[in-house]
Structure 1
């Protein structure tokens, strides 16, 4: 399968096991959502895919190849872009410098067209931006990277509803394997519109559901189904 997968993955933080042998797949052609409440394991799963936390056992597979032992910087060099939920920008550098680092040979116009709110902020240090502005900058860097696999933890954290909607549209339109860690289904997925989507719901370090967004809504045994229903 083209895309990225965890197979029988276990992760420990000291004596605590955060992932209990989970298996999940993110197909290249789909937008994949790792869904769950805080502490469910979705962020750990994303970090395991990125290589920023090691597996205690199991494998990470990309495009059919085992990359478990490949360090995070090599995964990045091979076209994997990870946007964590915190410290996703270089706070001591300006907005312009952050964008230039994402792809030194590329014009930053694409990123600034996606997030014109950043244009007047180009000379400011990234650490002085609001939380939503930092998320825009982090995602702009991901857009410029032209990565084949993009992993994003809570992409719209701190954004206004209008900017969040634009962000989801941008992520759906990317020609990449996109994996998001979310507490709630993005609005477009709730409505069943847009790009083909796969949902993996995690709870207490285990996968309790894998399927399409509509199947999640219809599944009566899903423990947290009311959390993901449209408001």
Structure 2
């Protein structure tokens, strides 16, 4: 099993606004880690800080015990970090096949198409014409590469049908990689168990307010008012 990744006392500013206020969180290797929170809570910023697409104002990013804070995003990607953002995750002007070929240059699409057979009849379609869920499937095929050691995915199942979403969580949970997901709500597939320990870090207003196993959070939400209830 590959090593984990973490933030230590991480602060991120967007101009005068501080989005992360000294956040410390760990994504261990043998887990699926969920960064949970509403829009504006800081979960996406934390994920981007791990990926290197936003710079820390202070603090560190640590991978396998090594400080990688100063390593740019492209270098992290070359060393096994796969980042799937919530928007613009595919090359819209390229076909599905051309997008796949960027990740699978040998042209063997067996693994991604076995994972998402829905893409097979769409190989000659431009990625920008796909539905939101189909684009998420295409983007997530990058996480299936054997060289990927850390998967960072922002709302990976957005736009997918419930059946495909459940398959996606099972797929991510089965990877030999450290998997970190940013979600607004705890996915039922992870709350009920997906074959691996699921760790949750709940963020509110740029700070971590809960860290623990998914079952602990599910218990809290069932016995108290949930912050994700409709308002």
TM-score by length of 2: 0.94
- The superposition leaves residues 92-128 of structure 1 with CA deviations (integer Å, 9 ceiling, x where unpaired) of 1110010010131361110001111100100011011
> Do structure 1's residue 32 and structure 2's residue 40 form an aligned pair?
no
CA contact (8 A) 2:190 2:214 kept: yes
Instruction: Please name the residue that 1:85 is paired with.
Output: 86
Task: Tell me how large the CA RMSD over aligned residues is.
Answer: 1.8
CA contact (8 A) 2:10 2:58 kept: yes
- The superposition leaves residues 168-207 of structure 1 with CA deviations (integer Å, 9 ceiling, x where unpaired) of 1100100000000001111122223421111000000000
Q: Which runs of 5+ in 1 are unaligned?
A: none
Cα deviation for residue 215 of structure 1 reads 1.2
Structure 1: which 4+ aligned runs deviate by more than 2 Å? 217-220, 222-228
> Do structure 1's residue 189 and structure 2's residue 190 form an aligned pair?
yes
Segment of structure 1 superposing worse, 138-147 or 62-71:
138-147
User: Which runs of structure 2 are paired with 1:179-218 in the superposition (5 Å)?
Assistant: 179-218=180-219
Cα deviation for residue 216 of structure 1 reads 1.2
TM-score by length of 1: 0.94
- The superposition leaves residues 126-174 of structure 1 with CA deviations (integer Å, 9 ceiling, x where unpaired) of 0111101100100112213630000000000000111101111100100
CA contact (8 A) 2:169 2:190 kept: no
Instruction: Please name the residue that 2:127 is paired with.
Output: 126
User: Which runs of structure 2 are paired with 1:46-65 in the superposition (5 Å)?
Assistant: 46-65=47-66
- The superposition leaves residues 47-99 of structure 1 with CA deviations (integer Å, 9 ceiling, x where unpaired) of 00000000000000000000000000000000000000000001111100100
Instruction: Please name the residue that 1:15 is paired with.
Output: 16
Describe the SS at the equivalent of 2:166. Answer: helix
Q: CA distance change for structure 1 residues 56 and 123 in 2, over 3 Å: closer, same or farther?
A: same
Tell me the matched-pair count: 227
CA contact (8 A) 2:7 2:25 kept: yes
> Do structure 1's residue 169 and structure 2's residue 180 form an aligned pair?
no
- Distance in 2, matches of 1:102 and 1:152, equals 16
Q: CA distance change for structure 1 residues 224 and 55 in 2, over 3 Å: closer, same or farther?
A: farther
- Distance in 2, matches of 1:179 and 1:116, equals 24
CA contact (8 A) 2:148 2:177 kept: yes
Q: CA distance change for structure 1 residues 4 and 109 in 2, over 3 Å: closer, same or farther?
A: same
